[in-house]
Amino acid sequence: MKQRIGLVLEGGGVRGAYTAGALAWLQDHQIHFDYSVGISSGAAYLCCYLCNDEHTPKNMATIYAADPHLVGVYALFHCGYYVDYRKIFETYLLGKEHMSIAKIREEKPDMEIGAYDLNQGKTIYFGPEDLDDQLNVIRGACSLPVASEIVDWHGYRLLDGGITKMIPIERAIEKGCTKCLVITTKPADYVRPDSSKIVIWLMKHIYKECPQVAKDYKVRKENYYKQRKIIDDMIAQGNAVNILPSLDIKVSRWKGNHDNCVKLYDLGYQDMETRKEEVYALLQEDQDE
């Protein structure tokens, strides 16, 4: 029986430059998947990949994400939040890049992006028919809790899906994928810290109407390692390949200078090239079934 192969993308904020570079390699080699799912910045880059748009993600990863005015005091005074996602989406992606998801809506690939809905107190998934021209769903999927505004859209109140699903491997399995190419943005020796007590306290006060979100944030570390174990088990069984940074380039979730963002983007592309035989073997096994 034919295997169903999924593409699974972790988020990572500015570190998503690595994902953008890895996806550029997949585009250049015209590699596609039966199902794909992305979280946070991985959701935005996934949409660009499915639209065959290599120009927008490269600029987003190496130029716009490195804009110091998007994060910190300047953003706080400009938009009232620590991260100015409106500028990212409205000024850069829509204004300068004219980013469009029309191709996804027309071709309806089997894809989803995850976002946390405060009304339901859980991460939910949106498909091609849900995506809007103003990119509200994607912006909601990227909006970090506390640091950015809630995206109100069609009755949903959206934040970053990484609150519970940092690496959406479970969703790929739920959708019938038996093999997965997983692209993550942290090096192999990464150790996830406990959730910040200050952030948990802030979430309890900012999102009083949704007490579940603070509870979910509190156990992010446990959920992360649960998701990592699923991936590691699949790798051990020969059912997954995990592309992850081979070098530790100094780029954080929040900030990265232009040169390091370019290096991280290039590293994503190069790591795919270096490990292409593993990727092709994963795809070939599907054809041989």
Which residue in 34, 53, 84, 160 is the catalytic one?
A: 160
Count of CB atoms situated within 10 Å of the CB of 289: 10
For residue 36, list its beta bridge partners: 7, 111
Catalytic status, residue 41:
no
Count of CB atoms situated within 10 Å of the CB of 281: 11
For residue 265, the model assigns a pLDDT of: 97
Residues of the chain with pLDDT under 70: 1, 253-255, 285-289
Q: Give yes or no for a contact between 5 and 181, defined as CB atoms under 8 angstroms apart.
A: yes
CA distance 49 to 9: 12
CA distance 197 to 213: 14
Q: Is 254 helix (H, G, I), strand (E, B) or coil?
A: coil
Give residue for tokens 């899906």: 161
Which residue in 40, 41, 143, 148 is the catalytic one?
A: 40
Catalytic status, residue 40:
yes
CA distance 223 to 246: 24
Q: Give yes or no for a contact between 9 and 287, defined as CB atoms under 8 angstroms apart.
A: no
115-159 pLDDT per residue, tens: 999 999 999 999 999 999 999 999 999 999 999 999 999 999 999
Q: Give yes or no for a contact between 25 and 267, defined as CB atoms under 8 angstroms apart.
A: no
Q: Give yes or no for a contact between 268 and 17, defined as CB atoms under 8 angstroms apart.
A: yes
- Tell if the pTM clears 0.75, that is, is over it: yes
For residue 251, the model assigns a pLDDT of: 80
Q: Is 67 helix (H, G, I), strand (E, B) or coil?
A: coil
For residue 286, the model assigns a pLDDT of: 53
